[in-house]
Amino acid sequence: MDLYNNEVIAYQISDTQYVDFVLETLRKACNVRETHEVILHSDQGAQYTSYAFQASAKENGITTSMSRKGNCFDHAVIESFHSSIKSEEFAAPLRATLTTTIVIENVANHMYYYNYIRPFSKLNCHSPVEYRTMAA
């Protein structure tokens, strides 16, 4: 997520978070944005502290940043995003009928809505993509 305009730049869905999974997500992000001098904030999970992830980030001009253990405030934006997608796309009564296909479809629809349609007050009631386009 780009904190400039809250746009989700890259995402993937998996039931695990192995190093290859986060490396592929990083590759996707690097393919759609210039990454020189970007700061990438993550938690201290093994996949983010791995040599492979750190090397890939460095190769792409990315500085990695990790907060201290137990410090949730650095993750507030993404935690808020996760909370909203859970409450908006996966309401409790519907959870029993979820399949992998439905989850993937709901997430894809939500990402499109979030990036291209949903207005944000901090962006003068523009969507993230609209705000980025106007600023360019």
Residue spans of the domains in the chain: they are: 19-135
Name the packing angle between helices 51-59 and 19-32 (round to 10°).
Answer: 10
Q: Which residues contact 74 (CB under 8 A, 6 or more apart)?
A: 41, 67
State mean pLDDT over 72-86. 82
* pLDDT on residue 24: 95
User: How confident is the model at residue 64, as a pLDDT?
Assistant: 92
User: What's the token pair of residue 42?
Assistant: 């993550």
Contacts of the segment 21-27: beta carbons below 8 A, 24+ positions apart: 21/47, 22/47, 22/48, 22/53, 23/52, 23/53, 23/56, 26/53, 26/56, 26/57, 26/60, 26/62, 27/56
Write the pLDDT tens digit of every residue in 30-69. 999 999 989 898 888 899 999 999 999 999 999 998 877 7
Stated pTM of the model: 0.84
CATH class of domain segment(s) 19-135 = alpha beta
